[in-house]
Amino acid sequence: MSQNTFHRLGDLQLRLMQSLWARGEASVAEVHATLPDDANLAYTTVATMLRKMEARGLVRHRVEGRTFIYSAAVAEEQVSGGMAEHVLDRLFGGSVEALVSHLLTRREVSRDELARLRKLIAERSHSS
Amino acid sequence: MSQNTFHRLGDLQLRLMQSLWARGEASVAEVHATLPDDANLAYTTVATMLRKMEARGLVRHRVEGRTFIYSAAVAEEQVSGGMAEHVLDRLFGGSVEALVSHLLTRREVSRDELARLRKLIAERSHSS
DNA sequence: GACAGAATACTACCACGGTAGTACTACTGC
DNA sequence: GCAGTAGTACTACCGTGGTAGTATTCTGTC
C-alpha cells in the first residue's frame, strides 16, 4: 500500500513538480522561468527547493556540464491521486459521491462538463 | 471568492474539527476521548492544539466553571469544500471530470456508489 | 485550612515548507 | 591570466503543525 506520503506537498513544490511533469527535464533556470511573473521568486529559492525535494525523493537530477538537469522522480498520477484520495478519505469518508456532490454545489459546472461526467460514469458502470 | 484559507489544515486539526462538528460542543477531555486509542496523544497536546486553532479562528470556546467548551467556528462545508477545491484547482486544472476519472480509476467503487453518482449528476443536469 | 485532582497557561522543541542571502567554483571572453 | 558570469552549496530565518512537559490556579473534600 505504501501509505502514500505525497499529500503534504505545498503549493510551490507542486508548481515545480508540474513544471517538470510538463517538460520532462529542466534546469533550475528553466523551471524558474516557467513560474508566473507575479510569483517573483529568487532563483536560489527554486534551486534550494529542488534540492530539498530531491532529498525527499520527489525529483532527481543528472549533470550536464555544470548545470543540474532535474526531472520528476514520481509520476503525476501518484501525486494527484494521493492528494485526491487523502482529501476524499479525510473529509468525505471515502465517498466519491459526497465529494462530487460538494463540488457540483459549490462550483459552476458547465453543461458540457456535466455531459462528460455522465459519460465517464456510464462507461465505468459497464466495464465493472 | 474569499480565497479560502482552510486548505492548510493538518491531519490532527482536521480530526479535532471533525470531533467538534460531530458533537457540536466538547471539552478538551471529550475531544481527547474521541481520538482513536492508537493515536495516543497527550491531553495537553489536544489542549494546545485547540488553543492554537482558536487563535486562527477555527474554533471558539465558552467557559463553563473552569472548563473550556469548544465548538467549531467554521462550517464543515467551508473546510471540506475549500480543501476539495484546492486539490481540484491545483492538481486537476479545475476539471471535476479529471478528478473523478482519477478516483474511479484508482479505487474500487461499488456498483451502488456508481449508481448514486449517476443519479446525482442526472439531477444536476436537469436543474441547471 | 491543607491537599489531591483537574483544568488551563506557558514554554520549548522538532520537522518542514518557503524564502533568500552569501560563499564558493568553474567556465568564457578578452 | 583575469574579470565577469552563471552555476551550485551552505546557512539562516520565519511560520505553522505537531507534541508534550512543567507551572499555575482553582475547586472540592476531609
A39: contact with B, CB 8 A cutoff: no
For residue B101, being part of any structural domain is answered with yes
Domain count, chain B: 2
Q: Which domain holds residue B17?
A: 6-72
The confidence score (pLDDT) of residue B73 equals: 97
- Examine residue B24 and state whether it is found in any structural domain, yes or no: yes
Mean pLDDT within B83-105: 94
Tell me: do B62 and B99 sit in the same domain.
no
Gap between the Cα atoms of A95 and A35, Å rounded: 35
CA of A42: nearest nucleotide by C1' is C20
Assess if residue A1 is contained within a domain: no
Please report, for chain B, how many H helices and E strands are present, in that order: 6, 3
* CATH code assigned at A37: 1.10.10.10
- Please report whether residue A49 resides in a domain: yes
pLDDT over threshold 80, residue B86: yes
Looking at the structure, do residues A97 and A50 belong to the same domain, yes or no?
no
Q: Which residues of B touch A14 (CB under 8 A)?
A: 90-91
Residues A36 and A92 in one domain: no
The pLDDT confidence band at residue B1, using thresholds 50, 70 and 90, is very low
**Chain B residue closest in CA terms to A125:** B114
Q: Please, which residues bridge with residue B72 across strands?
A: B59
C-alpha cell at A44: 536560489
- Which of these, A30, A18, A85, lies nearest to B93 by C-alpha position? A18
pLDDT of A75-104, one tens digit each?
A: 999 999 999 999 999 999 999 999 999 999
